[in-house]
Structures are given as structure tokens and as C-alpha cells.
Amino acid sequence: MRDVTKTVYSFEELSETSQDKAVGNVREKLNGSWWDSVDIDDVAVEIHVAFATELGSPGSVESGAADFDGIDGITLEAWDTDQLTVAFRGVLHRDNAPNLPWVEGLEDVHLGGGRRSTEVDPRNFDDYSATDHEHQVMIDAIRDLLDQAIRAGRDEVEHKTSDEVARDWCENNEVQEYEADGTLA
């Protein structure tokens, strides 16, 4: 047996080049092996809050993401920020979605969460005498809000895996040690 001595450094002790490498290594881990269910839940909340806020859903603006209880009657079933797809299921109505372009006679809109994307169920348009244009305006409005919601989720993923977050982690993690070149020890 032989004893091997290894010199390790704190983040502050590294050269600027080694610090940059350390930040890159941490960023890769944040986007890979360190990504966990908490991160997934955070992204889902951002998507749900963004959709609720745009719909004008009660409580979405006042409570913020930390206290958000969801949209009454709507569930987020799936999302994929790489493909920019989101699947909500439930019923939108004037109470949980007051910002939609409601027309006389249309009381609710059913959302069907497919495998990856939300579909507006056209069957509920059959019960009133709106024009095809009014139908399309409602569908387009909902699709626009869904697009904004999934983009909010993508923004959250990009933030969580950014150089800024990785550098903050390196600077504030007093336990982590590094080799001279910035490799995690």
C-alpha cells in the first residue's frame, strides 16, 4: 500500500480559467445527473402558473408560484420543453379563464390532454350559434396561451441549467472541492 496525497482547492482558489471549467462541469450536471423531481416539479409549476396568469384564473397573480393551488378544473398532464408541447385536461369556463374571448352562448371549453399536446374539443362549440370565426378566435387564443405557458417552462429549464446558476452554486458551496484544472474532486 502507498499513500497518495492529492491537493484540492476551493472555488475561490482556482484560476479564472479553472473556475470557468468548474462552472461548465456543474452546468452539465445540473442539466444531467443532478436534474431531479424537484426540478421537474418547478418547471411544471412555472408552466401551470403561466397558463393560469394568462387565463386570468383567480389567485394566479396574487399567490405566485410558491402558493399556487392550480386552475380549478384543469390538470397539467404532460409537457416537453424541447418539443414545446404541453398537455392540459379539463374544462375552461368564464370563472377559471375570464381573459379568454368568450362569446354569447359559449359557457365552457373542454381541453383534452393528448400524449403531449392539448387539444380544444370542438364538440362544445356545437351547442351555440357562434360563427366559425368566433370558434377559431377562441381556439387560437387558447393555443397562444398554451404556447406562452410551455415557453415559460422552457425559460425555467434554461435558467436552472444556466452558467449563472452553476456559478452561484460553485461560489456558495463551501464543501465542494476542485482539482487545479476545475474538475470536481
Residue type, 182: G
Assign 44 to helix, strand or coil.
helix
pLDDT at 63: 57
Interval 125-170: pLDDT, tens = 555 555 677 778 888 999 999 999 999 999 999 999 999 999 999 9
Interval 41-78: pLDDT, tens = 999 999 999 999 999 998 766 655 667 778 999 999 99
pLDDT at 132: 72
107 φ/ψ angles, rounded to the nearest 5 degrees: -100, -25
- Please say whether the beta carbons of 157 and 81 come within 8 A: yes
Comparing C-alpha atoms, which of 14, 66, 9, 26 is closest to residue 185?
9
Q: How confident is the model at residue 122 (pLDDT cuts 50, 70, 90)?
A: low
Q: What's the predicted TM-score (pTM) here?
A: 0.84
- Please say whether the beta carbons of 91 and 118 come within 8 A: no
